[in-house]
Structure 1
Amino acid sequence: MAMSNRYPLEGLHAVVTGGGSGIGAAVAQALIADGARVTLMGRRLDRLQAQRDRMDVDGGPAVALQVCDVGDEASVRAAFAAAADDSGPIDLLINNAGQVETAPFAKTSLETWQRLINVNLTGSFLCSREVLPGMTERRFGRIVNVASTAALKGYAYVAAYCAAKHGVLGMTRALALETARKGVTVNAVCPGYTETDIVAGAIDTIVAKTGRSAEAARAELAAVNPQGRLIDPVEVAAAVVWLARRDSGAITGQAIAVAGGEVM
């Protein structure tokens, strides 16, 4: 279907993992606004249903839901097959599902390490592997991995998360080269501290461990951004949707920092 100026993603089917809140929900809303059909994926159906109820579809395409544990191969295969059956071939994949835990390196258990690698890195691998054959066969596809500034620099006390997100960026660059002549682009968006449940959890951890107020903890995180603020999920979504457009075909293998100048 031809691209229209008003709905540049019209006719395309997008899957957004971790779509029940935060960045994933904002990305899904932005994709819908640009005309895409969207399937929200997440581990909890109730959260997905609640998010769908909050969305403004304005008479546009319906929002489909699929329960999926991105770190489980069988779950991923079943969810993506069902999504394609329900809403058509998958043209756009937004790998957004993620998890973080804080601990000093020496006190990070192997179980925590493996779980964070599994959710943040292996999940992106499994989901990308499911959509790639169809994308290359149709000679069109967009994969956008929501990484983090933790893919571009280190942060203390989140070694497993940083390792996983650095891995996501390495995978992004390798896959971009594999698909460069196949009509598929693969990019990463790297948000700084963003108004999400993950940052809310980080604030709670700072309060619990230091005794500082929530306001002081929030200000500490905001100060990392040269603009002195947290990022809005809508700002991350805008970058994701730009990379998903048909006319962004020359952009691949990139890491776009949405962080107010924290990483240059």
Structure 2
Amino acid sequence: MKYLKGKTAFITGGGTGIGLQLALQLAAEGTNIVISSTNQERLSEGANQIRKASPDVKVLDIVCDVSDRASIKNVKSEITKAGLQVDILVCNAGVTTSGDFHKHRAEDWDWVYGVVLNGTHYCVQEFYPDMVERGYGQVVINGSQAGMVPNWVTMHGPYTSAKAAVHALGAALRPEAATHGVGVTTVVIAGTQTEIMKSERSRPERFGQPLGIELPKRAARRVPAEDVAKQILDGIKEDKGWVCTHPDLKERTKQYFDEILAAYDR
């Protein structure tokens, strides 16, 4: 999508981190912004930051729990009431837990899958058909290197498998969407300076108490969120099928897929 001025982007998980940085960069291009998250205070702070930086664009901040389909439908209703339509959908919201597979309870799986996987396809189901009807739009699905190479980072089982699923969703949707003039970009994100490891603070009561397993902090190179957002913005403008934020992980990815390809020769 080369022309962003006057378009409207809806970004889930847009109150902090990558979502907020992308919102700031899109707003600087003249794009109207709708951001959502589960925390009104952080959401309002983010929205005010966007308004201050880009006073000429419309900015909406709407509390939304993407694991709840009705909450997403409410966001769409509020966007319509404001006289806007979603031209760019960014499925960015994500949460994770830490611990062994066998220590995860049903509610831990339900929460992570609810946000990462269900939240993504709920948004696609709600906004993609409108893009098809209009004949244009861009869907951005934020995945993870952990989902691309599932044996790379352990102790995040639900998150890793849910991210692998959203990669498949993006890849499967892209060729179909292209026939309707809609672009789909799947983003493979690795170590970034975000607050995802604090995501238990936003866990809804219906998913129970935090898992509460403390793991040693893993040393990792984490790039600024604005750098990742810039790569995503380029992906939107150029309708890239894939955006991979950490080129230094190419060899590790190749190793993983080479192991799979070798199995075809046996």
What TM-score comes out, normalization by structure 2 length?
Answer: 0.83
| Deviations 1:49-85 (CA, angstroms, capped at 9, x unpaired) | 1112223433320211111111111111111121133
CA displacement at 1:244 relative to structure 2: 2.0
Distance 1:208 1:59, change over 3 A: same
Match of 1:152 in 2: 148
- Contact 2:98 / 2:214 at 8 angstroms: preserved in 1? no
Structure 2: how far apart are the matches of 1:232 and 1:199? 15
Alignment-mate amino acid for residue 140 of structure 1: Y
- Contact 2:13 / 2:35 at 8 angstroms: preserved in 1? yes
- Contact 2:36 / 2:43 at 8 angstroms: preserved in 1? yes
Verify: 1:243 aligned to 2:241, yes or no. Answer: no
- Contact 1:93 / 1:143 at 8 angstroms: preserved in 2? yes
| Deviations 1:22-51 (CA, angstroms, capped at 9, x unpaired) | 111111001101110000111122221111
Structure 1: how far apart are the matches of 2:198 and 2:97? 12
1:82 to 73, 78, 86: 78
Unaligned runs of 5+ in 1: 211-216, 223-228
Match of 1:61 in 2: 57
Distance 1:199 1:262, change over 3 A: farther
**Percent identity between the two aligned chains:** 28
Structure 2: how far apart are the matches of 1:171 and 1:35? 29
Distance 1:118 1:106, change over 3 A: same
| Deviations 1:74-119 (CA, angstroms, capped at 9, x unpaired) | 1111111211331411100011111001110111112111211110
- SS, match of residue 187 in structure 2: strand
Match of 2:36 in 1: 41
Alignment-mate amino acid for residue 249 of structure 2: E
Unaligned runs of 5+ in 2: 201-212, 252-266
- SS, match of residue 186 in structure 2: strand
**Structure 1 runs, 4 residues or longer, greater than 6 Å off:** none
Alignment-mate amino acid for residue 263 of structure 1: K
Cα RMSD, aligned residues only: 2.2
Alignment-mate amino acid for residue 163 of structure 1: S
1:137 to 120, 133, 138: 133
| Deviations 1:206-256 (CA, angstroms, capped at 9, x unpaired) | x9544xxxxxx4xx432xxxxxx31111111112211222xx24x33x3x2
| Deviations 1:118-173 (CA, angstroms, capped at 9, x unpaired) | 10011000011111111011111101111111121122111110110000001111
CA displacement at 1:201 relative to structure 2: 7.4
Structure 1: how far apart are the matches of 2:67 and 2:230? 26
- SS, match of residue 248 in structure 2: coil
1:26 to 21, 29, 34: 21
Structure 2: how far apart are the matches of 1:104 and 1:58? 44
Structure 1: how far apart are the matches of 2:72 and 2:54? 30
Structure 1: how far apart are the matches of 2:138 and 2:54? 25
Structure 2: how far apart are the matches of 1:84 and 1:151? 34
1:221 to 219, 242, 246: 219
Structure 2: how far apart are the matches of 1:200 and 1:89? 32
Match of 1:261 in 2: 248
